[in-house]
A and B are shown apart, each in its own frame.
Chain A
Amino acid sequence: MSGDIVLAAKFIGAGLAMIGALGGGVGIGLSVQGALQGMARNPDAYGNLLTNMILGIAFSEAIAIYCLVIAFLMLFVL
């Protein structure tokens, strides 16, 4: 019985940890929006904007990835 409760708590915890991916999603959306607007107004800046956009995406994605790592730790390690 107690094992079942611990298992259920692990799954709930993993699900709750993934709420943090919300922030990463919003961040990626905002950075791509900004970059696309910049590209549409100034197509010459395409390459420069693209690399910087990917860097920004990587930074905000890292936050979501931390949540994912925590969720994996709860599911497979603890």
Chain B
Amino acid sequence: METTRKWRWGVNRWIVLAFIIFSIVAVNIFAPVQPHIQVAAENITDATLNLGPLGKVPFANTWTTLLVLDLIIILLAWSVRQAVKKGDLVPHGIAGGMEMFVEVVYNLTESAAGKWAKKIFPWFATILLVVLVANLMKLIPGMETIGVMHHAEGEGHAIQSLGGNAYNLLPEVVECGEGYVLTPFFRAVSTDLNFTLALALISVIMTQVIGVMAQGPRYFTKFLNFTTMFKKPFFGFMDFLVGMLEMISEFAKIISFTFRLFGNMFAGFVLMALVTSMLPIFVPSMISMFEFFIGLIQAFVFGMLTMVFMAQATQGHGGEEEHH
């Protein structure tokens, strides 16, 4: 065992060296280009999808990534289903990993939410899984670098033919109207504000639904607190103001959920793009490692906060619990 481990280390070291040399050669052949950075997702084609009353929706390049994301999650679910059908009590491979994931997440939910864990767990696990896969997909090579060339409106880059219909961007900046910019086929889905906003809305609205399920209409006294208004005039009024603050904080939750994930992932994308265009050898791999870590943490934080808010919503606030 000991010798095998040493031997693997030796091989890994040479693989790393080979990759460094390969990156030096690759950088000399295809010089890195500082990409065109845009906050909104780029549109792949000019065609739009007509949704009737909702208006026209352009085909953004986060859609393709979202499709791949859905495919990955469906494949995960399918492989777990196959493993369950086989009837092994001890699942292996992907199914084993998923079992571990579900067990860890369920225990976490149960320790925070108690008897409501069964209701809260699906939301927690779904958000965790979707955001995790979405964040880690950002690290696949070819993401955000392969796409359609089109004429730049402002300044663009010169291009070089690679034979056939393939072109390569050159780092030289050319005059207005003649340059090209790249619209990638795949852009990390968490760097689209629509995706994070949708997840945040789902999370916050389902928190209210679970709160009502747990406490009934009494849940809303958290926001419109008239219960103590007439018994203790001054403090009752203070309680009412606190209720108003609670209501504002629900809307602040939507904003903070949205921009936390979007900001982290978009900052990662910009950091990656700038570092790759300035120091193309060896440093981007460390940034990738950092991005992997950030993606993991943000997925965990998004799911965990959803779970904690839902668990809080199932419990009435302290003062009322004492009366019962």
Contacts and interface: CB of A to CB of B under 8 A. Distances in A.
Interface of A: 51, 54-55, 58, 61-62, 65-66, 68-69, 72-73, 76-77
A55 B256 contact: no
A11 B300 CA distance: 34
Contacts of B260: 58, 61-62, 65
Given A62-B256, A69-B262, A51 B304 contact: yes
Binding site of B, secondary structure by majority: helix, strand, loop or mixed?
Answer: helix
A65 B267 contact: yes
B301 A55 contact: yes
Given A51-B304, A54-B304, A72 B266 contact: yes
A76 B304 contact: no
Nearest to A77: B39
A62 B263 CA distance: 8
B39 A51 contact: no
Nearest to B302: A58
A66 B257 CA distance: 11
B158 interface: no
A49 B108 CA distance: 13
A68 B266 CA distance: 10
B27 interface: no
Contacts of B259: 62, 65-66, 69
A61 B264 CA distance: 9
Interface in B107-125: 108
Interface residues of B, number: 20
A66 B259 CA distance: 7
Given A54-B297, A58-B297, A66-B263, 20 more contacts: A51-B108, A51-B304, A54-B300, A54-B301, A54-B304, A55-B304, A58-B301, A62-B259, A62-B260, A65-B263, A65-B267, A68-B267, A69-B263, A72-B266, A72-B267, A72-B270, A73-B39, A76-B37, A76-B38, A77-B39
10 contacts: A54-B297, A55-B305, A61-B264, A62-B260, A65-B260, A66-B263, A69-B263, A69-B266, A72-B267, A76-B39
A24 to B, nearest CB: 11
Nearest to B36: A76
A77 B266 CA distance: 13
Contacts of A77: 39
Interface in B243-285: 256, 259-260, 262-264, 266-267, 270
A77 B39 CA distance: 7
A65 B270 CA distance: 13
Contacts of A73: 39
Contacts of A54: 297, 300-301, 304
B308 interface: yes
